[in-house]
Amino acid sequence: MRILLAEDDAELVARVAAALAAAGFAVDCVDDGVETEFRGQTEAYDASVLDLGLPGLDGVSVLHRWREAGLALPVLVLTARSRWHDKLAGFNAGADDYLTKPFQIEELVLRVQALIRRSTGHASPRLRCGALELDAHAGRFALDGDPLALTAREYRILAYLMHHAGRVVSRAELGEHVYDNGYDPDSNVLDVLVGRIRRKLGVALLHTVRGQGFRLSEAP
């Protein structure tokens, strides 16, 4: 899953980005409100962690513009302001969740995971497709109850497909959501990784739909 992290505190950005990456996310970092608003409108993200105190354009204004444009991106707001009316402003602008600084990085990761899970229609942190199970909180796959060894990139691909199990995901969509800072559509790396994942699964779960993309499902 690809995250837009908008925060101007460089030290906090480094810590949050590292924790999100360790949890299997691709992370794009931005420290300016104008650039944040533009990225959200033009790039494919699964969620955003948005600081309200951004320079150039504040987070509430960024959020207002996203929602007015019809962008349904799940947003976790960060702020140093703990007053109720500041929180209310964030929620009124369209925030889905809220964290007041200082906070535990682990809590932020869990909240982002929950936002994405709910946005894709999953209530439980354990997602299943046939014999395959993803523990979204632990960031682990199991096949028939046995741990499935995946590289970081393989995990991102399979996790995205698992969150969207049953529907065809195009190569372009998959690439946009699992790569940091863009994806080269002319590269065959994605196909190679999908092939590796399919061999590791060893069961007919990951299907190629000719001319359309990939689908994770029990049915061919």
Q: Tell me, yes or no, whether 27 and 83 share the same domain.
A: yes
Q: Is 135 helix (H, G, I), strand (E, B) or coil?
A: strand
Q: What is the pLDDT of residue 184?
A: 65
As a whole number, mean pLDDT of residues 14-32 equals 94
We report the CATH number of the domain holding residue 39 as 3.40.50.2300
**Residue 132 φ then ψ, to 5°:** -95, 135
pLDDT, averaged across the chain: 89
Q: How many structural domains are present in the chain? A: 2
Among 70, 85, 119, identify where a domain stops. 119
Q: How far apart are CA 49 and CA 74, in angstroms?
A: 9
pLDDT tens readout for residues 33-88: 999 999 999 998 999 999 998 999 999 999 999 999 999 999 999 987 666 777 77
Give 4's pLDDT tier (boundaries 50, 70, 90).
very high
**Beta carbons of 149 and 162 less than 8 angstroms apart:** no
Among 65, 86, 119, identify where a domain stops. 119
- Residue 172: CB atoms within 10 Å: 13
Q: Tell me, yes or no, whether 208 and 106 share the same domain.
A: no
Residue closest to 127 by CA, chosen among 219, 216, 45: 216
We report the CATH number of the domain holding residue 144 as 1.10.10.10
Q: Tell me, yes or no, whether 68 and 34 share the same domain.
A: yes
Among 119, 139, 164, identify where a domain stops. 119
Q: Tell me, yes or no, whether 6 and 114 share the same domain.
A: yes
Q: Tell me, yes or no, whether 44 and 61 share the same domain.
A: yes
pLDDT tens readout for residues 178-194: 877 666 666 788 889 99
- DSSP annotation of 104: -
- DSSP annotation of 169: B
Q: What is the pLDDT of residue 176?
A: 84
Structural domain containing residue 38: 2-119
Q: How far apart are CA 14 and CA 7, in angstroms?
A: 10
Tokens read off for 57? 């354009």
Predicted TM-score (pTM) above 0.85? no
Q: Tell me, yes or no, whether 74 and 151 share the same domain.
A: no
Q: Tell me, yes or no, whether 32 and 108 share the same domain.
A: yes
Percentage with pLDDT > 90 across the chain:
60
Q: Tell me, yes or no, whether 208 and 155 share the same domain.
A: yes
Q: What is the pLDDT of residue 90?
A: 80
Tokens read off for 43? 């790039």
Q: Tell me, yes or no, whether 150 and 115 share the same domain.
A: no
pLDDT at 124 over 70: yes
Q: Tell me, yes or no, whether 111 and 184 share the same domain.
A: no
- Residue 167: CB atoms within 10 Å: 10
Q: Tell me, yes or no, whether 134 and 206 share the same domain.
A: yes
Q: Tell me, yes or no, whether 21 and 112 share the same domain.
A: yes
Choose the most confident range, by mean pLDDT, from 88-92, 108-112, 122-126, 181-185.
Answer: 108-112
Q: What is the pLDDT of residue 185?
A: 61
Q: What angle do CA 121, 79, 138 make, to 5 degrees?
A: 40
- DSSP annotation of 122: -
